[in-house]
């Protein structure tokens, strides 16, 4: 899921929505797509928390921020909301739903997106409630499942984005790469549009660009896209017959080409000379660029490296609230390691991430976040790089151990029992040993 901020925060629930979407990671088949945050449609005043475009569904996200957290929320789509038995204000009519206007605007937005993409996708609306709601009941949700009222977490948002109301004609056509780019030009005209390769990684199929380009032009008041300008320019090239005689123009271009070729040859010869002079120095690998294969033995637990690395970009290797934290705090780098731990005749998959911060206070703040279930953490290095032999172990439901030493935080994940060590004694020993296993500097 590619998360792109189109505008400012809409409400107090915006950060939770962003964290839930960011937790999906990038390029994953089951959660691939593009999420645009803080969206306003051209010519409209309504501001949406997000528009989530996926290859096989499109959703509009609106937010409702309650005055205080609620354990039980009764949230009809048409009628008064009750939070722990108390009426929730939000409209001029106390008997009305606080999202009645937002739902109307969201349906209009979905119609606009359908016209912009020329795709018949399942569509839906997500009503994100904050600051917190434990149990939410929607008495009139209906059978089509097109509206979901939820408190945004990675699990709840994933479930909501997995469905939607089917297209009227029942013949769903996927959203192609060009359709997705057309929507981005429509809603985020000032941002750089994602490349075809990036969108393909998110699962968008290739397709005809004609309908998408024309749809964007219709919504952007005759401001043609670069692709459209390129297509329009080609027929005009028949006028090239009015240029000076071809022979003279060709000779002029040839001299420039020869000069450029000579310059290129000089650069290549210089590069060869530098390579010879430096000898083997250029062949040495970057430190920590790839992991070593040396086994580590800590407290009778043997750790066999699958891969290790030191990365300067903490944001790229984290997700959820943890990703937002390393963006706000001063994270200098992250040490990552994936290991097979062996103890007492059994093996376990272990993932380690060690964060380096500027101050101990930043380290303690970050540890409080990663120690809270559901607030994110670090991606496993071997899983992301495809280094695990065979099927990746999977760290959903993993046992976690964290430790703070000065301005560093180490987070250890031990794969669940089906992929790891059974029994509390073996589990605790492996976690304690992993807290001290050397990663390299």
Span 278-302, mean pLDDT?
59
DSSP labels, 135-196: EEE-TT--SS--EEEE---HHHHHHHHT--BPPTTS------HHHHHHHHHHH-TTSPPPPH
Best CA proximity match to 356, nearest among 302, 296, 313: 313
| CA–CA dist 357, 354 (Å, integer) | 10
Report DSSP state, residue 81: -
Strand 123-130 relative to strand 147-150, pairing: parallel
Reported as a single tens digit per residue, the pLDDT across 133-169 is 888 988 887 655 689 999 998 888 888 887 655 555 5
3-state secondary structure of 324: helix
Span 18-39, mean pLDDT?
81
Domain ranges of the chain: 2-226, 296-434
Measured from the Cβ of residue 174, the count of other Cβ atoms closer than 10 Å reads 17
The predicted structure's pLDDT at residue 253: 40
- Chain Cα centroid distance, residue 378: 13
Reported as a single tens digit per residue, the pLDDT across 327-354 is 888 788 999 999 999 988 888 899 999 9
Reported as a single tens digit per residue, the pLDDT across 420-436 is 555 555 788 899 999 99
The predicted structure's pLDDT at residue 280: 37
Residue carrying structure tokens 């475009």: 53
Answer whether 0.85 is exceeded by the pTM: no
Bridge partners (DSSP) of residue 63 are: 128
């Amino acid at each position: 899921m590619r998360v792109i901020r189109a505008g400012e925060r809409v409400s107090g629930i915006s950060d939770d929505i962003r964290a839930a979407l960011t937790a999906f990671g990038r390029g994953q088949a089951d959660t691939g797509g593009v999420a645009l945050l803080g969206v306003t449609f051209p010519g409209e005043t309504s501001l949406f928390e997000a528009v989530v475009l996926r290859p096989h569904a499109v959703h509009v996200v609106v937010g409702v921020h309650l005055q205080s957290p609620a354990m039980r929320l009764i949230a009809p789509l048409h009628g008064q909301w009750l939070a722990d038995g108390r009426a929730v204000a939000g409209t001029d009519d106390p008997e009305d739903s606080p999202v009645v206007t937002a739902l109307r605007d969201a349906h209009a937005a979905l119609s606009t997106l359908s016209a912009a993409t020329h795709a018949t996708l399942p569509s839906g609306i997500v009503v994100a409630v904050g600051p917190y709601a434990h149990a939410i009941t929607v008495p009139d949700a209906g059978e089509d499942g097109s509206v979901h009222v939820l408190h945004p977490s990675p699990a709840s948002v994933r479930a909501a984005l997995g469905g939607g109301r089917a297209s009227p004609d029942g013949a769903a056509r996927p959203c192609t790469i060009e359709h997705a780019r057309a929507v981005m030009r429509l809603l985020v005209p000032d941002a750089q549009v994602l490349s075809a390769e990036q969108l393909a990684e998110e699962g968008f199929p290739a397709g005809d660009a004609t309908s998408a380009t024309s749809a964007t032009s219709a919504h952007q008041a005759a401001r043609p896209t670069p692709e459209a300008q390129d297509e329009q320019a080609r027929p005009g090239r028949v006028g090239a017959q009015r240029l000076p005689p071809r022979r003279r123009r060709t000779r002029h271009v040839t001299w420039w080409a020869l000069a450029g070729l000579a310059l290129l040859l000089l650069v290549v010869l210089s590069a060869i000379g530098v390579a010879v002079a430096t000898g083997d120095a250029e062949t040495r690998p970057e430190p920590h660029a790839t992991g070593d294969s040396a086994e580590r033995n800590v407290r009778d637990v043997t750790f066999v490296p699958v891969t290790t690395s030191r990365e300067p970009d903490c944001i790229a290797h984290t997700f959820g609230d943890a990703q937002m934290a390393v963006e706000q705090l001063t994270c200098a780098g992250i040490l990552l390691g994936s290991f097979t731990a062996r103890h007492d005749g059994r093996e376990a998959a272990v993932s380690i991430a060690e964060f380096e911060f500027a101050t101990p206070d930043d380290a303690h703040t970050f540890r409080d976040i990663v120690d809270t279930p559901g607030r994110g953490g670090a991606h496993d290095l071997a899983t992301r790089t495809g280094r695990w032999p065979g099927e990746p172990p999977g760290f959903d439901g993993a046992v976690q151990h964290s430790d703070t030493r000065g301005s560093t935080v180490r987070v250890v994940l031990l794969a669940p029992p089906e992929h790891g060590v059974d029994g509390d004694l073996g589990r605790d020993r492996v976690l304690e040993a992993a807290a001290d296993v050397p990663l390299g500097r």
